[in-house]
Chain A
Amino acid sequence: MYRENRLWQWGSHIVLLLLSLACVGPFLLLFISSITDEQSIIQNGYSFFPKEISFAAYEYIWQQSSLIFNAYGITIFVTVFGTAASLLITSMLAYPLSRRDLPGGNIVAFLLFFTLLFNGGLAPTYIIYTQLFHIKNTLAALIVPGLLMNGFSVMMMRGFFMTTVPSSVLESASIDGATEFTIYRKIVLPLSLPILAVVGLLQGLMYWNDWFNGLIYLTNPKLYSLQTVMNQLMSNIQFLANNSKVSSLASGSMQELPSEAFRMAIAVISIAPIMIAYPFFQKYFVKGLAFGAVKG
């Protein structure tokens, strides 16, 4: 019995270590590639053991900073503002829906729920946003379409409000003369920090990682987020030269550009904030995923 247990322990560790390596490996290769000399990439390819280390790619990012830094700013703004707006709208819809006494609440709940089952599809959505709301090449294009609020989050939050915020507390507050807005702000939200953290985290990650809206609604490089820039760079490294302030690049001499290392360097700086923050939000994230999967 004891030997069998040890065997399972060791076996599990070995399999999970291999899986972990498979999960981390590509990230490691990405990082090492970004600090590999361009010439050795061209000769030996991307490699875990580069012949020559060079930080030229990062120097390039620093030098012709305008495009990348602008994109970084856009990504941060969209993530922060989008997440805040999303939490506000989501919770403001979820709270009234959690009140069983609200007349007509069921109708709204059904309207919300139906969006999880059926959607108009990409073409009508695109036409509505571009023709009716003229969202092309605006910052709103990165925040609003498809991302601002989703049915799952509202239902998750509504469920949390229903089970965690006691209706007796709400009643006594309203007898004491508190308005609905006060109750929402002073009682419901403070009691619901865990669910706000989970929804905010998932929402923030979604905004940080979104490239789709940039792909279909943006053509102006000034509005590109990091993901959109990376998307463009993958198909076309020339894109960088066209949008660069450094004259040697703008004139089209591409020899100097460490393009293969450069791609990887941009990818590295785009995930760096997530990787740095991950140990801190890891706990909430795991709980939120398990909770969302079971409830959603």
Chain B
Amino acid sequence: MNSRLGNARKKIWKYSPLYLMMLPGVAYLLINNYLPMYGITIAFKDINFAKGIWGSDWNGMQNFKFLFSSSDAYLITRNTILYNTAFIVLGLIAGVGTAILLNEIKNKLAVKFYQSVLLLPYLISMVLVSYLVYSLLSVNVGLMNKTILPALGIDPVSWYNEPKFWPFILVIVNLWKGIGFSCVVYLAAIIGIDKDYYEAAMLDGASKWQQIRKITVPLITPIIIMMTLLSIGRIFYSDFGLFYQVPMNSGALFSTTNVIDTYVFRALMQLGDIGMSAAAGLYQSVVGFILVILSNYAVRKLSKDNALF
């Protein structure tokens, strides 16, 4: 017994430098991730600044009742899911399509060039994207209102006040920003396909289009499914910058630009409604968690190696 305890002590002593190395990282996890998880309790509180945030009274599910009885809950959930669905479907088509075309090009230098250029939008911040969009859509000085629309004989549009255009604008901006990344991922998968398949197909007289349909696409399907399932797992989360910066936080556009993330942000920073913000955030985290687990379960069924856990 004693010697076993001694062994355990020796073992811990032996590994102590490794534990010491982990200390900063583990401390950061506690501060950045686990304390806020404990802080979720504020979603069940009636925040009263006089009593302090931790001293405020519990109010059970009141925040949630209020959230779900408002029309906002439906709107932000609908917007989040619809936008993400469009992003997933169109992003997939665009990514796989450009990757297939890039793979057709024989000139290596040209491939490198196209790939670098398509990745440019991926490098910049959403604030900068909002500047680029502003240069196109500004009511008074934008390229659309001053050059393109007059050339077509169409009246100027007050872009930042017209919610109906924003589903298209946001989908285009998202595609524009993400096409380089998904293209890189799918091209890596296509390059990994054994060239013998294509040679055999060509001997049999298969056309390019047949090769793409019968060889390329089926062979990268596992990666397509994996990437798609992972995105479905994150369908409750959205790119905050895209929905906040690009429409410039314009209140007139909320009906088509408000998503869960922007709602949580505005409730916290602009309305000061901490309890409501925490409630909406928890709603997102819980549903998001369930979706990640489900989608990972699906990935696992298909291919164990690609599963997250």
Residues of A at under 8 Å CB distance from B? Answer: 1, 4-5, 8-9, 11-13, 15-16, 19-20, 22-24, 26-27, 29-30, 33, 41-42, 44-48, 88-90, 92-93, 95-97, 99, 102-103, 108, 111-113, 115-128, 131-133, 144-146, 148-149, 154, 179-181, 184, 205, 208-212, 216, 227, 230-231, 234-235, 260, 263-264, 267, 270-271, 274, 278-279, 282, 285-286, 289-290, 293-294
- The CB with the most chain A CB atoms within 10 A, among B28, B105, B141, is that of B141
Contacts A148-B28, A209-B124, A264-B131 given; does A47 touch B21 at CB 8 Å: no
CB-contact partner of B36 in A12, A125, A154, under 8 A:
A125
Our count of residue pairs bridging A and B at CB distance below 8 angstroms stands at 273
Interface pair A264/B36, CB less than 8 Å apart: no
Q: Determine if B302 is an interface residue (Cβ-Cβ < 8 Å).
A: no
Interface pair B117/A120, CB less than 8 Å apart: no
Q: Determine if B93 is an interface residue (Cβ-Cβ < 8 Å).
A: no
Interface pair B32/A144, CB less than 8 Å apart: yes
Q: Which residue of B lies closest to A44 (CB)?
A: B146
- The CB with the most chain A CB atoms within 10 A, among B116, B127, B188, B277, is that of B127
What is the interface of chain A mostly: helix, strand, loop, or mixed? helix
Contacts A19-B118, A92-B25, A121-B284 given; does A29 touch B278 at CB 8 Å: no
Interface pair A89/B127, CB less than 8 Å apart: no
CB-contact partner of B39 in A24, A99, A120, A263, under 8 A:
A120
Interface pair A90/B29, CB less than 8 Å apart: no
Q: How far is the CA of A15 from the CA of B97 in the complex (A)?
A: 10
CB-contact partner of B123 in A127, A205, A260, under 8 A:
A205
Q: Determine if B96 is an interface residue (Cβ-Cβ < 8 Å).
A: no
Interface pair B39/A12, CB less than 8 Å apart: no
Q: How far is the CA of A13 from the CA of B187 in the complex (A)?
A: 16
Interface pair B268/A290, CB less than 8 Å apart: no
Interface pair B25/A149, CB less than 8 Å apart: yes
CB distance from B65 to the nearest CB of A (A): 18
Q: Determine if B134 is an interface residue (Cβ-Cβ < 8 Å).
A: yes
Interface pair A120/B105, CB less than 8 Å apart: no
Can you offer 25 A-B residue contacts whose CB atoms are under 8 A?
A1-B202, A5-B208, A13-B110, A23-B176, A45-B141, A45-B147, A46-B141, A46-B143, A47-B146, A103-B11, A103-B12, A108-B22, A119-B285, A122-B264, A123-B39, A123-B277, A123-B281, A184-B21, A234-B127, A267-B132, A278-B120, A278-B123, A282-B112, A282-B119, A294-B223
Interface pair A93/B22, CB less than 8 Å apart: yes
CB distance from B100 to the nearest CB of A (A): 9
Q: How far is the CA of A124 from the CA of B33 in the complex (A)?
A: 10
CB distance from B252 to the nearest CB of A (A): 15
Contacts A123-B278, A124-B39, A128-B36 given; does A181 touch B185 at CB 8 Å: no
- The CB with the most chain B CB atoms within 10 A, among A23, A205, A210, A279, is that of A23
Q: How far is the CA of A127 from the CA of B29 in the complex (A)?
A: 16
Contacts A44-B146, A95-B21 given; does A8 touch B104 at CB 8 Å: yes
Interface pair B309/A113, CB less than 8 Å apart: yes
- As a 0/1 sequence over residues 228 to 267 of chain B, the CB contacts with chain A under 8 angstroms (1 = contact) are 0000000000001100010011000000000001001101
Which residues of chain A are near B116, meaning CB under 8 Å? 278-279, 282, 286
Q: Can you add 8 more A-B contacts, CB < 8 Å, to A111-B29, A235-B248?
A: A30-B135, A42-B141, A44-B147, A90-B25, A121-B278, A131-B53, A132-B35, A267-B131
Q: Determine if B88 is an interface residue (Cβ-Cβ < 8 Å).
A: no
Q: How far is the CA of A282 from the CA of B115 in the complex (A)?
A: 10
- Total residues of chain B contacting the partner, CB 8 A: 101
CB distance from B209 to the nearest CB of A (A): 9
Closest 3 A/B residue pairs (Cβ): A45-B146, A121-B281, A124-B39
Interface pair A289/B184, CB less than 8 Å apart: yes
CB distance from B169 to the nearest CB of A (A): 13
Query: Which B200-230 residues have a C-beta within 8 angstroms of A?
Result: 202, 207-208, 223, 227
CB-contact partner of B22 in A92, A115, A120, A294, under 8 A:
A92
Which residues of chain A are near B21, meaning CB under 8 Å? 92-93, 95-96, 180-181, 184
Interface pair B268/A47, CB less than 8 Å apart: no
Q: Which residue of B lies closest to A180 (CB)?
A: B17
Q: How far is the CA of A124 from the CA of B204 in the complex (A)?
A: 62
Interface pair B31/A46, CB less than 8 Å apart: no
Q: Which residue of A lies closest to B35 (CB)?
A: A128
Interface pair A271/B128, CB less than 8 Å apart: yes
Q: Which residue of B lies closest to A206 (CB)?
A: B125
Which residues of chain B are near A33, meaning CB under 8 Å? 135
Q: How far is the CA of A97 from the CA of B105 in the complex (A)?
A: 42
Q: How far is the CA of A4 from the CA of B207 in the complex (A)?
A: 8
- As a 0/1 sequence over residues 101 to 117 of chain B, the CB contacts with chain A under 8 angstroms (1 = contact) are 11011100010111111
Interface pair B25/A154, CB less than 8 Å apart: yes
Contacts A42-B141, A115-B33 given; does A125 touch B39 at CB 8 Å: yes
Q: Determine if B26 is an interface residue (Cβ-Cβ < 8 Å).
A: yes
Which residues of chain A are near B145, meaning CB under 8 Å? 45
Which residues of chain A are near B131, meaning CB under 8 Å? 30, 230, 234, 263-264, 267
